[in-house]
Amino acid sequence: MTSRRSTAEIFEKIPTVIFETSSAAAAALAGEVKALVETRQKEGRQVVLGLATGSTPVPFYRELIRLHREEGLSLRNVVTFNLDEYHGLAPTHPESYFRFMREQLFDHVDIPDENIHLPSGLVAVEEIFDHCHAYEEMIDAAGGIDFQILGIGRTGHIGFNEPGSSRDSLTRRITLDRITRQDAAGDFRGEENVPRFAITMGVGTILRARKIVLMAWGEGKAEVVARAVEGVVTEAVSASFLQEHGDARFVIDAPASRELTRIKLPWLTGPVRWSPEETRRAVCWLSSTFKRPVLKLTDEDYNEHGLSDLLSEQGPAYQLNIRIFNQLQHTISGWPGGKPGADDTFRPERAKPYPKRCLIFSPEPQDAVVSIGATIDRLVEQGHEVMVVCMTSGNLRVPDSEADKFASILLEIGETFAEGWGQQAEYARMTLQSLTDKGAVGEDPASLRQLKSLILRGEVRDAAQALGLSHERLRFLDLPFYEKGRYRRFVLGSEDERLVTGLLREFMPHQIYLTGSASDPSSVAALCAKLVEQGLASLQGETWVDACSVWLYRGREKALEPWQIAMAMPISPMQLERKARALARCQSLTSMEQEVTRVNQMTAEQYDGLGLANYEAIESFQRRVVGS
């Protein structure tokens, strides 16, 4: 494909289109497929689509379904070939890609069953070579793939072509990378349950498609997108091979674009409108590049690193450095709720009113304690009215081993103290039997999910208590979308909106702490953030909404960089230890969540490198203006 590229894209080796949201990108892509399908229908020809699985293509599939239902798009002339399937999973398995495609697309449109093709997850090992060869032949017999849809994994894989896959590789069985298995751990109730093998189209198979579009959403994909788009072609990032295709492009949302040079370092790609945010970004980048405090940067440093325009507009370096240093220094505050009686001219949060009503939204029960536990501790200590809202039950993340442990202890108690414990012992036996019946990766019955919810509630209550927060200051919403769904497959409903909006109206907070703004759009965090945003939008005009501060924190996403931070809450060694003790009370945390205190320390080290005060750790926040 030939296209005119702007100078801003000079570092990009493959056309990359950035949309503000994933839904806008999915709608545009679905419209393109619709046009192709309808053109081929007029010609009496079929369209061969290559399809992907996972959370990334879900918005695209939902838009195709909408076009089918509301605009009469027929897909009867479409033939599909899926990229991959876990080896060892039956089609009926809740995490099989066969079932995923049925639930997310095929059961809702009119593609004939005989036109649908997926690799088999149950083919015998000795028959895999022949099965994969036959899959390649079926693609060729259909005339080849006209339009291939791809996602990208954190390892840079397309399909399941993990690092080391060659450019000419064909459909085959592959061993999954550990990062890939970690990313799927939530789907399978633990990394130990994720299949070790998958059958996947090869890189060479994918590159034979006539047109290829790779989609990526959320800041978690930003780094690997940049490596694939701007880096060298390498087997270490199989998506980089798309650079060699004549009609391939990346379609990404704004958060997924943040590591591209034109977004991250725009002064290297052309003229820049030097907003306060871009100026902070540039000065912080220069300081970290030189490993030199902001106040020690010189005119020569700016000129030699593409920042002469900034210097001529806002220099000299001495004045610019002082201004940015002061801005960064003013983000630091040990009073996240505002310091009563103090001059708040340069403080992140206003002094009045005091005390404030602080509403802290935690998508899954443990999220807020993990991410901003020290801030919660400080708000409580400083006398604010704090309410932590656990929006979902979080039961999908509780491993079977925790339920087994609880039921086994309860059974032993019941058998030891037989009198009056009969019902409890029977409940324990029923739970243990349900764990056995469903196996390691079967779907949890409602009773088991309820038990896991209660286990997680207990952990979070215990952790909150360690931070000085009483049980009465925890609210468990148990939003229905979570109880009805599975990871990557959630659908928000009107009852979810009603519950969240009702809570906002009831509490009328002065402060809201929220996460999920940079997450994958299908993640629990992003969906919960969407509910809060919708609730605030519906309440616009009420006096308290206009006066409400909304502070955005990061959960599992990449930590905020100093130039992004509007409030940096410093943590002393004693306070960090207090947070660590609270986290230790949560048995269901992942290894990534357990390392969050190290992330807090790294933020403090970044501030230290800029020449600011040297703290033990920092929890950081972005400011969001209500209605923006």
Of the listed ranges 6-10, 362-366, 415-419, the least confidently predicted one is: 6-10
Confidence at residue 590, expressed as pLDDT on a 0 to 100 scale:
62
DSSP state of 332: B
The CA distance from 468 to 579, in Å, is 11
Q: Is the pLDDT of residue 1 over 70?
A: no
Does residue 451 lie in a domain region?
A: yes
Structure tokens given for 458: 């207990």
Task: Let me know whether 311 and 177 are in one domain.
Answer: no
Confidence at residue 627, expressed as pLDDT on a 0 to 100 scale:
46
Q: Is the pLDDT of residue 177 over 70?
A: yes
Task: Let me know whether 170 and 277 are in one domain.
Answer: no
Confidence at residue 189, expressed as pLDDT on a 0 to 100 scale:
77
Q: Is the pLDDT of residue 76 over 90?
A: yes
Q: Which H helix or E strand runs over 223?
A: helix 222-230
Q: Is the pLDDT of residue 89 over 70?
A: yes
Does residue 12 lie in a domain region?
A: no
Q: Rounded mean pLDDT of 577-589?
A: 85
Paired residues of 388 in beta bridges: 360, 474
3-state secondary structure at position 248:
strand
**Considering 12, 85, 95, 162, which one is annotated as catalytic?**
162
The percentage of the chain sitting over the pLDDT mark of 70, rounded to a whole number, equals 97
Residue 560 exposed, middle or buried by CB count within 10 Å (0-12, 13-18, 19+): buried
CATH code at position 528 = 3.40.50.10320
Provide the residue type at 39 as one letter.
T
Task: Let me know whether 169 and 275 are in one domain.
Answer: no
Please give the mean pLDDT across all residues of the chain: 93
Q: Is the pLDDT of residue 167 over 60?
A: yes
Task: Let me know whether 120 and 250 are in one domain.
Answer: yes
Does residue 193 lie in a domain region?
A: yes
Of the listed ranges 47-51, 90-94, 500-504, the least confidently predicted one is: 90-94
Confidence at residue 65, expressed as pLDDT on a 0 to 100 scale:
98
CATH code at position 84 = 3.40.50.1360
Q: Is the pLDDT of residue 174 over 60?
A: yes
Q: Is the pLDDT of residue 100 over 70?
A: yes
Does residue 476 lie in a domain region?
A: yes
Q: Which of 262, 284, 303 is the last residue of a domain?
A: 262
Does residue 32 lie in a domain region?
A: yes
Query: How does pLDDT run across 253-270, given as a tens digit for each residue?
Result: 999 999 999 999 999 998
Q: Is the pLDDT of residue 441 over 80?
A: no
Paired residues of 174 in beta bridges: 198
Q: Rounded mean pLDDT of 431-447?
A: 87
Confidence at residue 520, expressed as pLDDT on a 0 to 100 scale:
87
Query: How does pLDDT run across 513-536, given as a tens digit for each residue?
Result: 999 988 888 899 999 999 999 999
- Sign of the Cα torsion 156, 161, 162, 167 reads negative
Does residue 6 lie in a domain region?
A: no
The CA distance from 148 to 418, in Å, is 63
Task: Let me know whether 178 and 269 are in one domain.
Answer: no
Task: Let me know whether 243 and 369 are in one domain.
Answer: no
Residue 322 domain boundaries: 265-329
Q: Which of 207, 231, 262 is the last residue of a domain?
A: 262
Task: Let me know whether 321 and 373 are in one domain.
Answer: no
Of 294, 230, 224, which Cα lies nearest the Cα of 265?
A: 230
Does residue 110 lie in a domain region?
A: yes
Task: Let me know whether 59 and 139 are in one domain.
Answer: yes
Between 444 and 300, whose confidence is greater? 300
Task: Let me know whether 310 and 394 are in one domain.
Answer: no
Task: Let me know whether 452 and 464 are in one domain.
Answer: yes
The CA distance from 130 to 132, in Å, is 5
Task: Let me know whether 323 and 245 are in one domain.
Answer: no
Does residue 339 lie in a domain region?
A: no
Of the listed ranges 122-131, 352-361, 400-409, 440-449, the least confidently predicted one is: 440-449
Q: Is the pLDDT of residue 591 over 70?
A: no
Task: Let me know whether 204 and 228 are in one domain.
Answer: yes
pTM of the model: 0.89
Query: How many domains does the structure of the chain reveal?
Result: 3
Confidence at residue 556, expressed as pLDDT on a 0 to 100 scale:
77
Q: What is the 3-state secondary structure (H, E, C) of 432-474?
A: HHHHHHHCCCCCCCHHHHHHHHHHHHHHHHHHHHHCCCCHHHE
The CA distance from 206 to 217, in Å, is 21
Structure tokens given for 439: 């196996």
137 is catalytic: no
The CA distance from 527 to 521, in Å, is 7
Q: Which of 232, 262, 292 is the last residue of a domain?
A: 262
DSSP state of 428: H
Confidence at residue 466, expressed as pLDDT on a 0 to 100 scale:
92
Q: Is the pLDDT of residue 440 over 70?
A: yes
Of 232, 277, 467, which Cα lies nearest the Cα of 369?
A: 467
Of the listed ranges 414-418, 495-499, 620-624, the least confidently predicted one is: 414-418
Q: Is the pLDDT of residue 166 over 80?
A: yes
Q: Rounded mean pLDDT of 101-123?
A: 97
